[in-house]
Amino acid sequence: MQHAEARQEDLSASREGRGRPATRDEVVVARHLEKRFGDFVAVDGIDFSVERGEVFGFLGPNGAGKTSTMRMVSCLSPVSGGELSVLGMEPNAHGPEIRRRLGLVPQDDTLDLELSVRDNLYLYGRYFDLPRREVRQRVERLLEFAHLSEKGDEEVDNLSGGMKRRLTIARALISEPELVILDEPTTGLDPQARHLLWDRLYRLKQEGVTLVITTHYMDEAEQLCDRLVVMDKGKIVAAGSPRQLIDTYSTREVAELRFGVDENAAAAERLAELAARVEVLPDRVLLYTDDGDEALRAALGLGLRPEASLVRRSSLEDVFLRLTGRSLVD
C-alpha cells in the first residue's frame, strides 16, 4: 500500500524509544479529551498521540473508557471536552471526511444479517461511494485476506465467532483506510482464532497501515503494540512501549508462589525481605525481583513450603497491578 516507505522510517524511529524524528506525522492527537454521559465521566481528560504507521494500544479493564475513546476518534460520538484531531481534522466539523479515510472494527460485529458475506463487504464499499467494479475487486482480495473465500455466499448468521470477526476486519479495510481502529478485536475468540487474527493484523502493520487497538489482554498488547497507554477509570495511568512500561513499573522477573487459601498473607509477611516488592493476590503471592530463581530458593530456605511455584518474566499484567492494585481481567 501507499504508505509503506514512510512507515519503515517511523517504525525504526519509534523502536528507538524517545528519539522521535523531527518530521513526525501524528495521525491522532488528543489533549485533555473528555467524554461525559450526563453527569458520568467516561473519559476524564486524556492526552495521547498516535503516529503514522505505528500500532498504538489502549490497555485497560472493562469500563475503563476505551470504547468511548474509540468512538470519539472514529467520529461516531461527539467530543464532550478537550481537543481531538484525527488525520489533521476536527471530528465535530469533519466527521464524514475523516470517516472516509478511517476503518473501524467495533466492539460488537454489527454485520448485516440479511446479506451474504460477500454482499456485506460489497455494500460497505458502496457506503464509501466507491465504484462498483473497484469494490468487486477489493471484495475478492479481502475475502482471501480474511480467509473467507469459501464462505463468500454464506449467510452471515452461519459463520463462527472468529469468522465474523475476520469479516468485520475485512469490512473495515474495504476503503483502504490509512487508520484502522480495532475495539477489542479478539475478545471472546478461542486461541486458534486469535492467532489467525493477530497474523492478519501483523500483515496490515507491514503494509504501513496505522492501527489503534484496544484490549484487556496484556499478551495481545505486548505482542501487537509499538506503544500503548494503560487506561483505568477514564484516565491514562501510564504510557510507553511495552518494554519501557515493564522496565519502569516492574522488575525483570516474577516468582509466583501459591500457598493454601488462607496462608498467602501470612507467608507474604515473611517473604517481604526477599524481593523488591511483594503483592498478595487471593490465590498467590508475587515476588518482584530481578532474579526469580534466587528469590524462590531463598523462600524455600526460610522453610516455606508453597503448594506450587513458578518463575516468569514480568508482563503488562504486572504493570497494571502495580499501577492500580487490581488485575486486568477479573
Ligand X SMILES: Nc1ncnc2c1ncn2[C@@H]1O[C@H](COP(=O)(O)OP(=O)(O)O)[C@@H](O)[C@H]1O
Residues near Mg ion (CB under 5 A) are 66-67, 107
Give yes or no for residue 119 binding another protein (CB under 8 A).
yes
Please, are residues 212 and 180 in contact by the beta-carbon 8 Å criterion?
yes
Angle separating helix axes 117-127 and 161-172, nearest 10 degrees? 30
Q: Tell me the site size for another protein, rule CB under 8 A.
A: 31
DSSP state of 87: T
**Dihedral sign, Cα of residue 202, residue 7, residue 218, residue 171:** negative
Q: Which does 106 bind (CB under 5 to 8 A by kind): another protein, Mg ion, ligand X, none?
A: another protein
Residue 315 as a binder of ligand X (CB under 6 A): the answer is no
d(CA 70, CA 17): 25
Closest CA to 122 of 197, 175, 158: 175
Within 13 Å, how many C-alpha atoms sit on residue 33's CB side?
A: 29
> Residue 107 or 116: which CB sits closer to Mg ion?
107
The answer to whether residues 189 and 161 touch, using CB atoms and an 8 Å cutoff, is yes
Q: Give the whole-angstrom CA distance, residue 148 versus residue 320.
A: 36
- What minimum distance in Å lies between the beta carbon of 179 and another protein? 12
Q: Does 77 bind another protein (CB under 8 A)?
A: yes
Take residue 5 and report the three cell numbers written for it: 516507505
Q: What angle do CA 303, 311, 281 make, to 5 degrees?
A: 75
Contact 288, 274 (CB under 8 A): no
Q: Single out the residue of 57, 60, 177, 242 in contact with ligand X (rule: CB under 6 A).
A: 60
- Pick one of Mg ion, another protein, ligand X, none as the site partner of residue 133 (Cβ within 5 to 8 A by kind): none
Contact range with ligand X by CB under 6 A, out of 47-55, 62-70, 134-142, 151-159: 62-70
Closest to ligand X by CB, 67 vs 241, is 67
| Given 24, 31, 83, 113, the residue binding another protein (CB under 8 A) | 113
187 part of the interface to another protein, by CB under 8 A: no
Count of residues that interact with ligand X, criterion CB under 6 A: 11
Q: How far is the CB of 47 from ligand X (least distance, A)?
A: 17
* Contact stretch for another protein (CB under 8 A) within 82-90, 115-123, 135-143, 238-246: 115-123
Shortest reach from residue 233's CB to ligand X, in Å: 9
Partner interacting with residue 65 (select from ligand X, Mg ion, another protein, none; CB below 5-8 Å by kind): ligand X
Residue with cell 517481604: 272
Kindly state the smallest distance separating residue 216's Cβ from another protein, in Å.
21
Q: Which of 45, 61, 81, 106 binds another protein (CB under 8 A)?
A: 106
State the CB neighbour count (10 A cutoff) for residue 266: 14
Report strand pairing: 227-232 vs 277-281: unpaired
Closest CA to 60 of 313, 317, 250, 265: 317
Number of residues in the chain = 330
Nearer to ligand X, 65 or 91 (CB): 65
Residues that bind another protein (CB under 8 A): 37, 74, 76-78, 95-97, 99-100, 104, 106, 108, 110-116, 119, 122-124, 126-129, 171-172, 175
